[in-house]
Structure 1
């Protein structure tokens, strides 16, 4: 008899591969209601019954499993938040929650789009909204409920206008110890949308193009890295990287390696080149180590070069925790400092080592520029400096000193220079972000500090890594951040879905700019990347609809549908088996690609048939 699906386990690193700044990596907290990698779902994964299986008069209501459910089952709605916080987009004090690494409270929010309890009154504010009644008090009568709803509506409209016009928390946004600067002009500045390459096709309905089953593994295996050019879709596998026809999925080339790809940059040069790090066995060790850095021509599959560096002791190779590509230079960082090579030739350009005052580069951010995060001092009381570099020499252009007490700094974007950190462990949900910092890369002066508590916003950075931030985008003079899921009370009593929005902050003033991109009833929206001055967003869907890709105008935040996947159950199960937070999701030229970063041993033969290395859908 087949066993019921087990709850998915969080992704783990091999015991010999510490991440980021050298501290043991915390198991990532789940986000968006999606499972942690490795995913257990795939074709045939369980989903909630269709709506017509219930009586017409009864709205669908999720079951309440005794244990955490496998992905695909509706989850029990969690305890509602305390009454009184302002609406989305307003500053608020984050709730008191256990620090990162502690187990979350039971219950939690339901998964994407699954039915929740309907509002008790069509016009009444829901619990947790301004003016909502305390659940411990007597239920207000109908007349009082209507009055409260009207007052709340007026308060939200008026309050929203005040915030959008002047909203700013002057408490600590521009801390004098970190430098201040920037023009305090109107929120939103002169940012406009447009300039993107991705256009809406005549028919946005997509179909499955191809998918590849997960290869057999006996333990947890890393398969980081997926890239897309006009000519090829590339995905790492077990001790190999393979290039595929982006429309047909046929294999174009294969590059064998001595070990798995352990780190990979997401950046690609204009001529289709990138970089990655992979494992080798050294000095009779039983375990592979992430020591080799290489350049790759994605269009041809040619390995451009392969290099390593010796560690501080000189008797072993340095192990790398991250690799990036910035302005034509490949830079890798780890416990022994960092090094940089020319992307085309592999020539070593410079090397960073630990100084006598215990300063060392622990990681880099790339893209149109190259930025180093440099850590000084002891482990318990470090000083973190962020330095834009001359990519050819490694010399700092400027220095921004993070606030005292910050243990880890994350680079959201190298140009514009946007940083993230969990200040005082106040993020509240293991996202690694309590605040964003917009910095002038030429002077090192702080432009704006943007509070973004994890209880309210859904962006996420790997807790100890420098560049591994997801569900956030920066460009066009703005920072684009999704809100957390919340009840969609505005849709009326007939709505059972949850939703969120994408909002934008001005990078010069730190203020929330007018407007927002609504995900829609039952959908959850988050950004994938910038496309010119626009944002490419991915939308998880309610249980009876297909996921979507949209283009969001960077100025007005208006959405245009680019692709909608089938609502067919088997397709939805396969798509939702790729966790939004831990999978590699790429979109280009009307096609969507989803790939995993970790492989795990299947629970059973049936489970093995549901696991995929990657899959692709498209409109053409």
Structure 2
């Protein structure tokens, strides 16, 4: 640690920081390695609630003895609807898919019934307008546009001391708690290509295809392989974040390594051993087929997460490995890692650093010593950072575009006052998820190149869920293109069973434009935008039908085409992956679907997490 943590704030939950508590401040401007002096950050510690009581924003992953049996993404639908983090009964009035409550911050106006509300054309889909309000924009909270209500007295959460987000202990306790429970606060993993879809010049042979994932030759799917979970002897769960897909390889982290599967043959292609347990991974892959991860310095249970390495996914070789600067104690809960424009950006409690993917050359470094700090990075086509300054009770948040080669800010958006936490959903175009007046995600915002807020999509009473957790780059169930933001609704009662929809929100106005139904006995989430279509994953049915990959055509306003239908014989295993939560987003590449776990335990390897990963493809 470059310096001891500051004294604890007065309103903090016992036993550690709230998972959605502000982590500390990032630099308002990116400076050279010798100049930048951001502040100190506390890790996101596990809350004091049970998983059943916590929302996705609050919940640390657990290892249940068996898959959940009620509601939520991937769980077998059971009437009445509700499920993971959602109300048990559909609220009266608006119905799922569109906001319903009138007035107040984060409570969109009321709309009638399930599906599309019947509104006059000028009101837009589901958003009746307030007098003097621009079309498509729900009302803001106190302070007018650009201002959000501050949290109520007694802590960040809505309940004050003793409630989620309330309490009395501080960041020192949070750091200690996180060191013990680091394994349960892990990076969300997914797969996004860093290079543009039209870029085919710099790829290595057999590297990730920029347009990989086209429609398979046949919609009739088969199981390609299953990766058996290793036996866990310790009572402590093991963190296994990280999964990536190229045209030919599916790679998955194990307890002390990475395994690569040949997606065509279903055989193991390579296996890379690591010094210790995986702490964090990049969800992105560089344009030459490499990705990055941070792992522990040894296999000892209390070893620190000090090692960073780049792995070539095509040949399964380690390109380089280094120790993070300063040798500070690094726990998994304080680590963030991403890739953009062939630069690896890493953040930990104590500083941040940028390396060249190909060589490991250090490009920039910053130590957290002042009033601001980098909360974390998001990658892809553009490197972005969330920067936090000021006090923990009254933070100032900025979102910056960062030059990957220098670490300096090139663009900055001022997050509205009253927002406690910001996640980055997309760096190009810029889409953010924010927590305002509470510790859970309340709104999704789109931001223009002019650094101004375009639209705010209020999530209401968990009516929509982007699947965001505590990390900056952790929203696992939302996809974006230049026209739309695609989000799933909460699970609710259909005609005969639980179901949900994906809603397409207009990027410019935030208005819901169209919806696509999962159908009876199914729920679905967005996976990625590919060739102008939204790829979505539908979970298996409780009656034994396998999951589906569907392509949703925006031009057809939600019309679906089945790309892959998984075999019913694999539905039980498939459901074990889908039923845990939306923290583990599926991967779809080159016509193949891959599901994976990020946490295993001694008990889970004999039940729901018997396998680390599973792949499906065309017959």
CA contact (8 A) 1:524 1:540 kept: yes
1:440 to 448, 455, 468: 448
The residue number in structure 2 matching 1:85 is 94
Name stretches of at least 5 consecutive residues in structure 1 with no aligned partner: 1-13, 48-61, 98-127, 132-151, 180-192, 427-431, 490-495
Relative to structure 1, is the Cα distance of residues 534 and 580 closer, same or farther in structure 2, using a 3 angstrom cutoff? farther
* 1:37 shift after superposition: 4.7
In structure 2, what is the equivalent of residue 453 of structure 1?
460
Cα separation, 1, equivalents of 2:302 and 2:603: 22
TM-fit CA distance, 1:562? 0.7
Residue 278 (str. 1) matches residue 278 (str. 2):
no
Are residues 40 and 614 of structure 1, via their aligned partners in 2, closer, same or farther at CA, if it must alter by over 3 Å? Answer: farther
Cα shift at 1:365 = 0.5
Alpha-carbon separation, structure 2, partners of 1:564 and 1:500: 19
Q: Distance in 2 between matches of 1:266 and 1:405?
A: 29
Q: Is the contact between residue 30 and residue 36 of structure 1 (CA under 8 Å) also seen in structure 2?
A: no
SS at match of 2:124: helix
Q: 8 Å contact 2:338–2:378 — kept in the other structure?
A: yes
Aligned to 1:243: 260
SS where residue 516 of structure 1 aligns? strand
Cα distance 1:279–1:610, how it changes in 2: closer, same or farther (>3 A)?
Answer: closer
Instruction: Tell me the equivalent position of 1:168.
Output: 136
Deviations 1:478-508 (A, max 9, x none): 211111122224xxxxxx1222211112222
- Name which of 414, 424, 428 aligns with 1:411: 424
Q: Against the structure 1 CA distance between its residues 438 and 82, is the aligned structure 2 distance closer, same or farther, given a 3 Å change threshold?
A: closer
User: Rg bigger for which structure?
Assistant: 1
Could you say if the C-alpha distance between residues 334 and 552 of structure 1 is closer, same or farther in structure 2, counting changes exceeding 3 Å? same
Match of 1:393 in 2: 406
Q: 1:563 to 1:170 in 2, by over 3 A?
A: closer
Question: How does the TM-score come out when normalised to structure 1?
Answer: 0.71
C-alpha change, 1:77 and 1:488, in structure 2 (3 Å) is closer
Say which of 293, 312, 315 aligns to 1:300: 315
Question: Alignment RMSD, CA only?
Answer: 3.9
Q: TM-score, normalised by structure 2?
A: 0.71
Match of 1:25 in 2: 45
In structure 1, C-alpha distance between the alignment counterparts of 2:112 and 2:418, rounded to whole Å = 34
Instruction: Name the counterpart of 2:183.
Output: none
Do the aligned residues in 1 keep the contact of 2:249 with 2:314 (CA within 8 Å)? yes
Q: Give the distance between the partners of 1:75 and 1:94, measured in 2 at CA.
A: 31
Measured at CA, do residues 559 and 253 of structure 1 come closer, stay the same or move farther in structure 2, by a change above 3 Å? same
Quick one: distance in 2 between partners of 1:332 and 1:315? 14
Task: Give the match's secondary structure for 2:347.
Answer: strand
**Contact 2:99 2:459 (8 Å CA) reproduced:** no
Pairing 1:62-77 to 2, within 5 Å after superposition: 74=78
Aligned to 2:350: 336
> 1:81: how far off?
4.0
- Cα deviation for residue 316 of structure 1 reads 5.4
Q: CA deviation at 1:215?
A: 0.7
In 1, Cα distance between equivalents of 2:404 and 2:474: 20
- Name the residue aligned to 2:240: 223
Separation in 1, partners of 2:241, 2:553: 31
For residues 350 and 404 of structure 1, what CA distance do their matches in structure 2 show? 30
**Structure 1 residues 446 and 352, CA gap change in structure 2 (3 angstroms):** farther
Matched, 1:370 2:383: yes
Q: Matched residue of 1:388: which SS? A: strand
Report what 1:492 is aligned to. Answer: none
- SS across alignment from 1:577: helix
Whole-Å Cα distance in 1 between the matches of residues 444 and 249 of structure 2? 35
Paired residues of 1:37 and 1:596 also in contact (CA < 8 A): no
Match of 1:588 in 2: 589
Distance 1:451 1:317 in 2: 36
Find the counterpart in structure 1 of residue 506 from structure 2: 506
Q: Measured at CA, do residues 289 and 250 of structure 1 come closer, stay the same or move farther in structure 2, by a change above 3 Å?
A: same
- Alpha carbons of 1:316 and 1:616: their partners in 2 closer, same or farther (altered >3 Å)? closer
Alpha-carbon spacing, 1:82–1:374, altered in 2? closer, same or farther (3 Å): closer
Q: Which residue of 1 aligns with 2:284?
A: 267
> Hey, what's the Cα distance between the residues in 2 that align with 1:250 and 1:95?
56
Note the residue ranges of structure 2 that are not aligned, 5 or more in a row.
Answer: 1-14, 24-41, 83-87, 130-134, 149-196, 199-209
* Cα distance in 1, alignment partners of residues 286 and 357 from structure 2: 9
Contact 2:546 2:574 in 1 (8 A): no
Q: Determine if the alignment matches structure 1 residue 38 to structure 2 residue 63.
A: yes
Native 8 Å contact 1:94 1:453 kept in 2:
no
